[in-house]
Structure 1
Amino acid sequence: MTIEAVADRRFLKSSTAGVFALLAALALSGCETTTSTLSSVAVDTAQSSTENISSLSEVIRRTPNDPEAYNIRGSAYGKGGRYKEALQDFDTAIRLNPNFYQAYANRALIHRYMNNQQAALQDYNRAIQINSNYDAAYIGRGNLYRLAGRDSEAFQDFERAIQLDTTDPRAYHNRGLLYQARGQHDFALQDFAAAISLSPQATEPYTARGLSYLALNDDENAAADFNRVITIDRSNAEAWAYQGVVLERQGDKTRAMRSYGEALRLNPNLKVAKDGLARTRTS
């Protein structure tokens, strides 16, 4: 089992004069967040509680040589942000079973959280060496590559996971982001749609797809995606801001200003909303 989880978001661009500078800036800088509903988590959030970790510890006390028990407790520790304890459990799981590829992938994610990127890469490589058909390791390594700017290698890993018939939406979402960064929006739209079909309540693929629709000047579908995000999560500041972008492009400055204002209420530092509100107030 793996505790791999990630969230990613990226750019848009447009030829519309009134919003061009904003969209060009997004194309250059990207848009990243640190929270996500788009995840593949083997251990439920409740299992990171003290009570459940105590239960897992009791299992380990009864079966101290079971690598899976350490892997499960390590996953629970990781979910709870107790990275040192998680590493210790994954180390033990791997010591007990040197071919435990899931534990390598889990340990890689903890290394990523602790900013030990080289150690994370080594663990993903080892997981893939043991099991060349393990989709989660390709997705994890691909995301590591993508965040490091190694887009070609990232693309190959996401492509490999998809070729393995993964049901993990992150493979499609992340490959879609790479297509989007290349300006290949038609391919990106297909990947975001696949991610949405696998995880309909995840907000990130809707936002990403909305940005590609904006880049293609398809305001209607872009608006539908941003509105969907707001329906799922009314606290999503970016969705409000991008809703404002669509409304501004459509000439509805009053409603755009309200959307930008709501985005800023939720995130006072969101540049998209700051710039949009400044434009709509003075126009």
Structure 2
Amino acid sequence: MMLTLALGALAIGAGLWRVRERRLAAFEARSVFADFKHGAAEAKVALLLPDLTSDERDHELQRVRRLLAMYGAGDSDDWRRGTQYRALDMANRSQLDRDVGHLLYLWIHALRRGEASAETAENSGDRRVPVALALNSRAQACFPKDEVPQALRIQRRELLHNAGLDWSEPSDDSSGDDGPPRAALDRAFQALDCVARGDYRGGVELLRELRYSVPQDFTVQFLAGVCHESLHQFQQAEACFSACLSLRPDSARALYERGLCRFALRQFPEARRDFEEVLSLEPENRSALVSRALTLAAVGNHTDAVTDLTKAIDRGFPETRVYFLRAGLLRKLGNDSGAERDRHEGLTRTPADPRSWVSRGIANLPLNPHQALADFREAVRLNPREYEAHRNIAHVLAERLNQPAEALGVLDHLLEMTADDPLAWAGRGVLLARQGQVDGARRDAERALAVRRDAVVLYQAACIHALCGDWGELSSTDERLRLVLPLLSEALQIDPALADVALTDSDLKSVQSARPFQQVVAAAQLLRLARDPGEIPSIGSGREGAAE
């Protein structure tokens, strides 16, 4: 009897031990999954951000690989046999399957772009095709056969087509039938594909409904923000990144992107706070240092801005444009020798990113417009959606090389990419007004002002109306002044430095002799003496730092 009781007690003890082991395994599995899910939220979109440097792209790709390695999904088709996966409940397994499929899709995207130097070195030439096809098969296996997202099927067909292989595969009978999107997941993958191809308008359309059907999805909100930001729809983008931060207040990436949007909206104190929060989360973030420097420069705090730029340089900030940024600020502080040293350093180094090519082009423009044009075109070669480069190409063609027709073509192409670039609308309006296309010029001025009323846009709108008057519609100077002066006054109140430009600008020639015009300019010059707001550069998207 005692032996029976003892054996029973041992069996109960062993059973309790097994229950305890299973509970501990489940707890550990949930903990690992929580870490994975936290990292995957940003990793699922970071690789698709426009204007990432090659170093940043490598960094993000390594993060994707580390996340996949947590479950062995990066190098094994049998990754779901692991204990960490099997210890999860069915709901978490399903979520993990979707996230792994998502990350594998992005890994393939990076391989196809060939911009991640570590990956390119490891999988160079023909090796990338079988690697990408294997990853695509593994990604498709993450979903039930009838729920494989169309984007993954399309990605596979493109890989096969580019490799000159047969598209059809016996194991994938439905690969040729895309059909309509079947679910929110499918639309999310289609939106990812749009962003990967630079089709931001298509991405906005796909994500519009998703943002409200799954408002708690960080990835959907972030992707929508990227699309709006890339289209220069900064208010909408700022709202999307704010939604991201309501879901994940510690997201340094969402804070940084919101800071860029707020800078573009001239909300300088708010932008600075966002960049400072990034630095509190990531003290070594050089991008945030440079971007904070630009917010400081925008309000005239040139000394602290130089300090931030110097820290970024000392920490190895890779974009050569930082030297031109610091040169401009040093010149404002009266340090001409230091400014010239930085300018020379910037011109000596070969840029590796689009925005640094733009900065070098601007530095070359006064003395060598042909070299400047080549620099801007190199920026576009690296990133066809580098809007600032397109605008500068148009400027060189129109203002320095007397090729207005070619400049109009450049701006037409830019406005096909984004209808929300006020500088492109205003610039094209000026060119049209010079050619006597009055109706088109005024429409462009209205479109520009509807997007944003900053100093440059207002000034160019004033030029458009002054030029239109030269073509007989406004016979008297008073009529021209009625349209020109309100716009010019508003522009000069924002940036009094434009007063010096207005005095000699041939686009304003028809009104420059009028006394009201001279009074407005004189008032702006006095205002400039009273306060020095500094030149406010365009921050752009600023990964690894803000733009020129």
Is the alpha carbon distance of 1:113 and 1:202 closer, same or farther for their aligned partners in structure 2, counting shifts above 3 Å?
farther
1:116 aligns with 2:199: yes
- Cα contact 1:261–1:277 (8 A) shared by 2: no
Aligned counterpart, 2:275: 192
Aligned counterpart, 2:108: 77
1:205 aligns with 2:205: no
* 1:13-24 paired onto structure 2 within 5 Å: none
- Cα contact 1:74–1:90 (8 A) shared by 2: no
Aligned-pair CA distance for 1:256: 1.3
Q: Which has the larger radius of gyration?
A: 2
- Cα contact 2:216–2:247 (8 A) shared by 1: yes
Aligned counterpart, 1:4: 45
1:247 aligns with 2:288: no
Aligned counterpart, 1:167: 250
Q: Which AA in structure 2 matches 1:4? A: V
Q: Which moved more, 1:87-96 or 1:212-221?
A: 87-96
Q: Which AA in structure 1 matches 2:44? A: I
* CA distance in 1: counterparts of 2:307 and 2:48, whole angstroms: 21
- Cα contact 2:200–2:230 (8 A) shared by 1: no
Aligned-pair CA distance for 1:187: 1.3
Aligned-pair CA distance for 1:226: 0.9
- Cα contact 1:38–1:199 (8 A) shared by 2: no
Aligned counterpart, 2:436: none
Aligned-pair CA distance for 1:249: 1.4
1:177 aligns with 2:260: yes
Aligned-pair CA distance for 1:41: 4.5
* 1:127-276 paired onto structure 2 within 5 Å: 128-129=211-212, 131-267=214-350, 270-273=357-360, 275-276=362-363
* CA distance in 2: counterparts of 1:231 and 1:111, whole angstroms: 38
Q: Which AA in structure 1 matches 2:312? A: V
Aligned-pair CA distance for 1:67: 4.3
Q: How big is each residue's C-alpha offset from its partner over 1:90-138, in whole Å with a ceiling of 9 and x where there is no partner?
A: 796482697785x865663343121233553355446545532222321
- Cα contact 1:229–1:236 (8 A) shared by 2: no
* CA distance in 2: counterparts of 1:53 and 1:218, whole angstroms: 49
Aligned-pair CA distance for 1:230: 1.1
Aligned-pair CA distance for 1:224: 1.6
Is the alpha carbon distance of 1:271 and 1:70 closer, same or farther for their aligned partners in structure 2, counting shifts above 3 Å?
closer
Is the alpha carbon distance of 1:137 and 1:41 closer, same or farther for their aligned partners in structure 2, counting shifts above 3 Å?
farther
- Cα contact 2:44–2:103 (8 A) shared by 1: no
* CA distance in 2: counterparts of 1:107 and 1:79, whole angstroms: 17
Q: How big is each residue's C-alpha offset from its partner over 1:61-100, in whole Å with a ceiling of 9 and x where there is no partner?
A: 999x954543342233234336986788479648269778
Classify the secondary structure of the residue corresponding to 1:201.
Answer: coil
* CA distance in 2: counterparts of 1:116 and 1:7, whole angstroms: 12
Aligned-pair CA distance for 1:58: 4.6
Q: Which AA in structure 1 matches 2:293? A: G
Report 1 or 2 for greater relative contact order, CA contacts < 8 Å, sequence distance ≥ 6. Answer: 1
Q: How big is each residue's C-alpha offset from its partner over 1:207-226, in whole Å with a ceiling of 9 and x where there is no partner?
A: 22111111111112101211
* 1:44-123 paired onto structure 2 within 5 Å: 44=63, 55-59=75-79, 66-81=97-112, 89=139, 93=143, 95=147, 105=188, 108-121=191-204
Q: Which moved more, 1:38-47 or 1:170-179?
A: 38-47
For structure 1, list consecutive stretches of 5 or more residues without a partner in the other structure. Answer: 9-31
Q: Which AA in structure 2 matches 1:187? A: E
Aligned-pair CA distance for 1:190: 0.7
Aligned residues: 253
* CA distance in 1: counterparts of 2:48 and 2:220, whole angstroms: 16
* CA distance in 2: counterparts of 1:53 and 1:232, whole angstroms: 35
Aligned counterpart, 1:27: none
Q: How big is each residue's C-alpha offset from its partner over 1:228-277, in whole Å with a ceiling of 9 and x where there is no partner?
A: 22123243212121111122112222221121122223346745455557
Q: Which AA in structure 1 matches 2:315? A: I
For structure 2, list consecutive stretches of 5 or more residues without a partner in the other structure. Answer: 1-39, 86-93, 115-131, 150-181, 367-548
* CA distance in 1: counterparts of 2:225 and 2:136, whole angstroms: 21
Classify the secondary structure of the residue corresponding to 1:261.
Answer: helix
Q: Which moved more, 1:206-215 or 1:264-273?
A: 264-273
* CA distance in 1: counterparts of 2:62 and 2:318, whole angstroms: 26
* CA distance in 1: counterparts of 2:345 and 2:260, whole angstroms: 26
* CA distance in 2: counterparts of 1:82 and 1:93, whole angstroms: 25
Is the alpha carbon distance of 1:182 and 1:91 closer, same or farther for their aligned partners in structure 2, counting shifts above 3 Å?
farther
* CA distance in 1: counterparts of 2:143 and 2:202, whole angstroms: 17
RMSD: 4.2
- Cα contact 1:4–1:106 (8 A) shared by 2: no
TM-score of the pair, normalised by structure 2: 0.39
- Cα contact 1:37–1:202 (8 A) shared by 2: no
* CA distance in 1: counterparts of 2:63 and 2:136, whole angstroms: 19
